[in-house]
Amino acid sequence: MCFKKAFLALAALMLVGACTETTSISAESEPGILSRVPDAVAQIAAPGQDLNAVKIMPEDGCYWYRYVGPVETTYLPLRTIEGRPICTRA
């Protein structure tokens, strides 16, 4: 009986432990993150985009924001309300 309780407790601990975040994602630890998004960019950016972690991709010169989803964290193009990407060059 004691073994069964210990096994159940261990199984419960493993299940609860699997639900916790094991890594901390910090915008300050990533290279290239802008410390402050320009006001003009913030004004034209569509709502629902995280402006706390934005960087300019050298490949296209456009602003990209960090999207933290339920499965993965990735960068997506920062877009206007009309859906156009916001870039530093034409």
Buried b (16+ CB within 10 A) or exposed e, 31-56: eeeeeebeeebeeebeeebeeebbbb
pTM: 0.66
The string of pLDDT tens digits covering residues 15-34 is 766 565 544 455 455 778 98
The string of pLDDT tens digits covering residues 34-55 is 889 999 999 999 999 999 999 9
CA distance 29 to 25: 8
